[in-house]
């Protein structure tokens, strides 16, 4: 498993502050790709990215059938630095992490259902900034 370094955390924070929407990519068991906009996505610690499930349907089915996912963030000076995280996802609907995530969603807006928590453990982190380092593993 890969660790989420300080620079990657900062790019995710920058992206969240600038656009507030992340792209989460999944794939069906048969390899059909799916990308959805996600509002509640953040780096929880050095080992996990959390996604609060308010409205996941096809994406959730994909995660349960094929837990390999990918997400990217842009930020840094001028918003031109990019990073991609590929990882394995697990889905939780109970436990302390789920309860903490649910509270975060409800504190933001009581109408959010907070049906579950997707926890992504990074397998690899890549520089996706345009230029000579694009595609290189960090």
pLDDT tens string 84-96: 999 999 999 999 9
The confidence score (pLDDT) of residue 132 equals 95
Identify the CATH class of 6-127: mainly beta
Q: Give pLDDT tens digits along the chain (138 positions).
A: 899 999 999 999 988 888 889 999 999 999 999 999 999 999 999 999 999 999 999 999 999 999 999 999 988 777 789 999 999 999 999 999 999 999 999 999 999 999 999 999 999 999 999 999 999 999
Give the C-alpha separation, 22 to 32, whole Å: 20
Residue among 82, 74, 97, 87 at smallest CA distance from 123: 87
Contact (Cβ atoms closer than 8 angstroms) between residue 52 and residue 105: yes
pTM of the model: 0.94
Give the C-alpha separation, 94 to 77, whole Å: 39
């Amino acid at each position: 498993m890969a660790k989420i370094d300080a620079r990657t955390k900062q790019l995710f924070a920058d992206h969240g502050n600038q656009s507030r929407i992340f792209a989460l990519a999944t794939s069906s068991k048969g390899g059909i790709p799916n990308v959805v906009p996600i509002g509640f996505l953040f780096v929880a610690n050095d080992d996990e990215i959390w996604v609060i499930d308010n409205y996941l349907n096809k994406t959730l089915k994909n995660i349960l059938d094929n837990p390999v996912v990918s997400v990217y963030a842009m930020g840094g000076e001028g918003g031109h630095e990019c990073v991609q995280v590929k990882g394995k996802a697990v889905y939780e609907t109970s436990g302390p992490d789920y309860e903490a995530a649910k509270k975060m969603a409800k504190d933001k807006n009581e109408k959010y259902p907070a049906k579950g928590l997707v926890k992504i453990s990074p397998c690899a982190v890549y520089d996706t900034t345009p230029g000579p380092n694009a595609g290189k593993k960090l």
